[in-house]
Amino acid sequence: MQWSTASDTVSVDNPYRRAKVEHYVERVEELVRMARYSAAKKALSTVFMLEPNSKAGSTLQKHIDSALAELLSMATPSFTTTNGRTRQLRRGELVLVVDQDERILTSLTDTLCKYGFGAIGAGSFDEAVEALSKFKPGLIISEVNFENGPVGYDLYLWVRHNGELSSTPFLYLSTRVTREMLIAGKRMGVDEFIVKPIDEEVVMASILNCLARRKRHVA
């Protein structure tokens, strides 16, 4: 789906305000491309604060709402009745990607969508926890180290100690996987490590392998 760009924003009297509106509209578009919908909605609120009738903002709002509704339908098993029986439908595969590098987030979410997966992006530990409070992904991919706040291992432990998320397959991204890191991760139960820079085919092979293993385990 295409949305309006910053240049579509209606004119405002103050050139400085117009520049700010365009800046935030562009930022929302960037966040949407990363599938960071929570952050996008926060940035969008600034657009509407500066320009309540922003056409570009309204278009982006509709796109975000539509994307979230679709992802929620994937993350939440639905039910139907056939011949008087209620059965649970198969959950769509939703993947949470956590990385502070926005280029990697954009690349990975694009790749996931290309292969038919739903994607949610997060740029920090806190943003990932917020996403996990709303979505129950089938798999999580996270970088090992964040520049600020808790590191990737903290996110892994948080997931493992949170109810129905506890068995979610977990893959790590890292620019360098040391022997010590590999041993620690395997002892903790990390499913797999992926080395940056990202190779699309390697990532998809790792995702499919982890999901297949988990399905066999559940069966």
For residue range 32-64, list pLDDT tens digits in order: 999 999 999 999 999 999 999 999 999 999 999
% of residues, the chain, pLDDT over 90? 47
Residues 6+ apart with CB under 8 A from 154: 125
Contacts 24+ apart (CB under 8 A), 207-212: 207/95, 207/112, 207/117, 207/139, 207/141, 207/171, 210/139, 210/169, 210/171, 211/93, 211/138, 211/139, 211/169
Mean pLDDT of the chain: 82
The answer to whether residue 120 is domain-embedded is yes
- Using alpha carbons, select from 195, 201, 146, 152 the residue that is nearest to residue 175: 195
Residues 6+ apart with CB under 8 A from 168: 136, 137, 138, 139, 140, 159
Range of the domain at 57: 6-71
> Are 19 and 108 part of one and the same domain?
no
What pLDDT shows up at residue 82? 42
The answer to whether residue 205 is domain-embedded is yes
What pLDDT shows up at residue 9? 44
Q: What band does 192 get if pLDDT is binned at 50, 70 and 90?
A: confident
Q: Tell me what the mean pLDDT of segment 85-108 comes to.
A: 76
Where does a domain end: 41, 71, 101?
71
> Are 56 and 108 part of one and the same domain?
no
What pLDDT shows up at residue 178? 77
What pLDDT shows up at residue 78? 43
> Are 63 and 109 part of one and the same domain?
no
